[in-house]
Structure 1
Amino acid sequence: MSHIKEARMEHLQVLCTIDQEVIGDASRTEEIQQAIEEKRCLLYQSTDNIAGFLLFTNDFFGYSFISLVIVKPSERRKGVASALMKAYMQMAKTSKVFSSTNQSNKRMQQLFHNLGFVKSGVIDNLDEGDPEIIYMKQASPQA
């Protein structure tokens, strides 16, 4: 059995370990910690471990923004990212939810497409030679 829940400080080390496994360093430790403290982090708990997590904000031009989706490499292609994003879409506090990925990240672009997100713009010059594509989806905002 698996479920999605709000991350707590007791999960910080596990989430940081997963993030380090994916990106190769500990550069986002403070960002993850702050998101947990501010209740802006969801995690995917399977029966025996945490398979992934999602960070969000509510200050992207007045809208919700999924800023990070990380899935443990051994748990990829099992619906973890989809489940996290669907869960967040149901709890979003704004009528639209935005997110983004690099042009080179074809898997994430496919996930956005599969979940009904539409392209909303491009930002150049964040990662040299790899534009950031912005996506948007209408949400069911919670009051």
Structure 2
Amino acid sequence: MDGTGSRDLVVRRASVSDAEALTGVDSIASAGDRARRAGIRRWCAQGSALLAEDASGPVGYAVLEYTFFEQGFVTLLMVGSHARRRGVGTRLLGAVEAACTTPKLFTSANVSNQPMHQLLLGAGWCPAGLVHGLDEGDPELFYFCPEERLAGE
């Protein structure tokens, strides 16, 4: 984003043709993780990925699925390292909230992922519970979006 603000961002649904560019934004996929690369292709093909881009191209993405007790769930939110702390995550969360078609929306993050906790709390999301055993020694903290923030409400 190099000097531009979040107002210069466009958030749109990613298409299959965006998958390779999203791989470049994702630190895990760009490091060669085949499962993440396959996930990005699948999410783009299914229409589950929302892409944030500026004039330079994609800078982040979020994945909205309905596999968590048939409610909305932000499976992944990734902002490229060059675009962090500039409002991209906040814009992506807002886009997910607007796109969610269920009355409830959740996400989770490892306890060690402090930037994600700051983002969620700053955006008004509420802690919902802690789950141990997913990643050894790093519990997962779940959050929910207040219902009045969702488009369907």
1:86 is displaced (CA, Å) by: 0.5
Shift of 1:141: 4.3
Counterpart in the other structure of 1:96: 104
Identity %: 27
1:52 aligns with one of 41, 45, 60: 60
* Structure 1 stretches lacking a partner, 5+ long: none
**Counterpart in 1 of 2:4?**
none
**Alignment: residue pair count:** 143
Are 1:140 and 2:150 matched, yes or no?
yes
For residue 81 of structure 1, what is the aligned residue in structure 2?
89
The 1:20/1:110 distance shift into structure 2, 3 A limit, reads: closer
Q: Does 1:7 align with 2:14?
A: yes
Q: Which amino acid aligns with 1:128?
A: E
**Equivalent of residue 31 in structure 2, options 19, 24, 33:** 24
Unaligned runs of 5+ in 2: 1-7
Give the counterpart letter for 1:9 in structure 2: V
Which residue identity does 1:17 align to in structure 2? G
Alpha-carbon shift at residue 20 of structure 1 (Å) = 3.5
Amino acid at match of 1:33: R
Q: Give the aligned CA root-mean-square deviation in angstroms.
A: 1.7
Provide TM-score, normalisation by structure 1: 0.93
Instruction: State the Cα deviation string for residues 78-125 of structure 1 (Å, max 9, x = none).
Output: 000110010110110011110000001111111111111111111111
- The question of whether the paired residues in 1 share the 8 Å contact of 2:27 and 2:80 is answered with no
